[in-house]
Amino acid sequence: MEIAIPNLRHLRVFLAVAELKSITRASENIFLSQPAITQAIAKLEGLLGASLFERHSDGMYPTPSGEVWQKRVSRAIDHIQTATQEIVKDTTQKERSPKNLIALISTTQLRALIAVSEAQNFSIASRNLSVSQSSVHRAARDLERLLGVVLFEKNSLGTSATKAAQTLAKATKLAFSELRQGIYEINALQFKDVSTITIGSMPLARMTILPKSILQFNERHPDVNINVTEGPYTDLLHHLRQGDIDIILGALRYPTPADDVVQEELWAPPLSVVARKDHPLMEKNTISAKDLTEFAWVVPAKDTPTRQAFEAIFNDADIPLPTRLVESSSQILIRELLIESDRLTLISAHQVEREINIELLNVINFPLDHTRRPIGLCVRKSWLPTVTQSHFLSLLRDISERFR
């Protein structure tokens, strides 16, 4: 179920009351009437299903839910303020502070910004938002006027997002992610943790620590949803940095692929040459790189760590690479091609452990201990996991120890 993102103006009202401990002082600070502030707080509490303040004679103080919400809302607003600062620094709007600009920006405008940036088309964006195309146009153009910059430009393929739009869209997605985290935490405080953990998973992790971690995690958190996303590493990294994914689990990249992410190694399994159980090479006691060139291969995409290891086998032996290649990362396709032919592949034995145990596949006797690949976590540097997400991370670490 999609979580509703609160009204940005209501969030500013909440922060003012939380910081000033008074509706009266907040009213004077943000130039909004006391009844309007009271109504905004009530709407937020209704949306969150929790009281955010305790009313005392000397002021208003955040409840435990209010403290959680204040932390997340502050982080969310910081994302948007930083982006607006970047956008307006060279425009005619630079006399306005990002704080003043945020007072004028609405959640509706930001949702339209994200939708059009991702769809690159106003019509598709309106369908994705389930609103009229004119409403999306109006929201986007109003935001352009507020910021004093062009956000979208027409091209031969539709509508392209300018650098300013991309900057603010990314910051907004990260801000919305913070708000969802806050909602998850408030729900957990009320013993109704129905949060979602979104994981971008690479092949080796999908076949080893991830299923074991999910099963063990769900014994304690049966109502928490695990959303596993698969795809090329570059796509997963993009979605991680945009806030769509919480964790990438798989082969680590060196150097670290971006300044705003951090990596953590869990274990480093070696690669193996794998073939069907009755493959001709099974009869040989000593196998050379030259022997491996006599057979067709199934290999992963170029520039992946395993593909680089595959090419290094032959480059180090100073012989030409095999030429009869099928390029695929599909576990099912690789298995079927190996079983039904004399093709070889380079893969971690952990990934095909089940097939090896039932004697469909086997490991060729070709030493590759030097090909150990670091497998681990990649997360946003600024990411603040919830207690539930932290428990899942702990399980991943504990279970990976068994593979060391």
> Each residue of 99-136: pLDDT tens digit?
678 888 999 999 999 999 999 999 999 999 999 999 99
CATH of the domain at 334: 3.40.190.290
pLDDT of residue 168: 97
Burial of 359 (0-12, 13-18, 19+ CB in 10 A): exposed
Residue 262 lies in a domain: yes
Using CA atoms, how far apart are residues 403 and 375, in angstroms rounded to an integer?
11
Which of 203 and 234 is assigned the larger pLDDT? 234
Three-state secondary structure along 318-384?
CCCCCCCEEECCCHHHHHHHHHCCCCEEEECHHHHHHHHHCCCEEECCCCCHHHCCCEEEEEECCCC
| Beta bridge partners of residue 36, listed in sequence order | none
Instruction: For residues 247 and 330, state if they share a domain.
Output: no
Strands (E), 260-392: 261-267, 272-276, 297-299, 325-327, 344-347, 361-363, 375-380
pLDDT of residue 82: 93
Cα–Cα nearest to 182, from 74, 316, 314: 74
- pTM for this structure? 0.85
CATH of the domain at 166: 1.10.10.10
Chain CA centroid to CA 218, Å: 21
pLDDT of residue 114: 96
Residue 2 lies in a domain: no
Instruction: For residues 160 and 142, state if they share a domain.
Output: yes
pLDDT of residue 232: 87
Using CA atoms, how far apart are residues 181 and 68, in angstroms rounded to an integer?
10
Q: State whether the Cα torsion 130-134-140-143 is positive or negative.
A: negative
Instruction: For residues 15 and 120, state if they share a domain.
Output: yes
**3 has pLDDT over 80:** no
pLDDT of residue 192: 85
Residues 6 or more apart in contact with residue 132 via CB below 8 angstroms: 126
Residue 369 lies in a domain: no
Using CA atoms, how far apart are residues 336 and 62, in angstroms rounded to an integer?
59
| Count of beta carbons in the 10 Å neighbourhood of residue 324 | 10
Residue 330 lies in a domain: yes
> Each residue of 317-365: pLDDT tens digit?
999 999 899 999 888 999 999 999 999 999 999 889 899 999 999 999 9
Instruction: For residues 154 and 208, state if they share a domain.
Output: no
Residue 208: pLDDT band with limits 50, 70, 90:
confident
Residue 90: pLDDT band with limits 50, 70, 90:
low
Instruction: For residues 197 and 324, state if they share a domain.
Output: no
pLDDT of residue 401: 87
Q: Report whether 328 contacts 334 (CB < 8 A).
A: yes
> Each residue of 222-254: pLDDT tens digit?
999 999 999 889 999 999 999 999 999 988 998
Number of domains in the chain: 3
**48 has pLDDT over 80:** yes
Instruction: For residues 154 and 199, state if they share a domain.
Output: no
pLDDT of residue 201: 93
Instruction: For residues 200 and 282, state if they share a domain.
Output: no
Residue 178 lies in a domain: no
> Each residue of 273-318: pLDDT tens digit?
999 999 999 989 899 999 999 999 999 989 888 999 999 999 999 9
Using CA atoms, how far apart are residues 399 and 217, in angstroms rounded to an integer?
11
Residue 1: pLDDT band with limits 50, 70, 90:
low
Residue 94: pLDDT band with limits 50, 70, 90:
low
> Each residue of 380-392: pLDDT tens digit?
999 999 999 999 9
**98 has pLDDT over 90:** no
pLDDT of residue 194: 85
pLDDT of residue 252: 92
**96 has pLDDT over 60:** no
CATH of the domain at 225: 3.40.190.10
| Average pLDDT, integer, range 77-94 | 83
Instruction: For residues 45 and 150, state if they share a domain.
Output: yes
Instruction: For residues 101 and 248, state if they share a domain.
Output: no
Instruction: For residues 155 and 66, state if they share a domain.
Output: yes
Burial of 303 (0-12, 13-18, 19+ CB in 10 A): exposed
Domain with 62 in it: 8-170
**92 has pLDDT over 90:** no
Give me the chain's average pLDDT, please.
Answer: 92
Residue 177 lies in a domain: no
pLDDT of residue 89: 81
pLDDT of residue 303: 84
User: Could you say which DSSP state residue 150 is in?
Assistant: -
Instruction: For residues 261 and 389, state if they share a domain.
Output: yes
Instruction: For residues 14 and 141, state if they share a domain.
Output: yes
Residue 183 lies in a domain: no
Residue 27 lies in a domain: yes
Q: What percent of the chain has pLDDT over 70?
A: 97
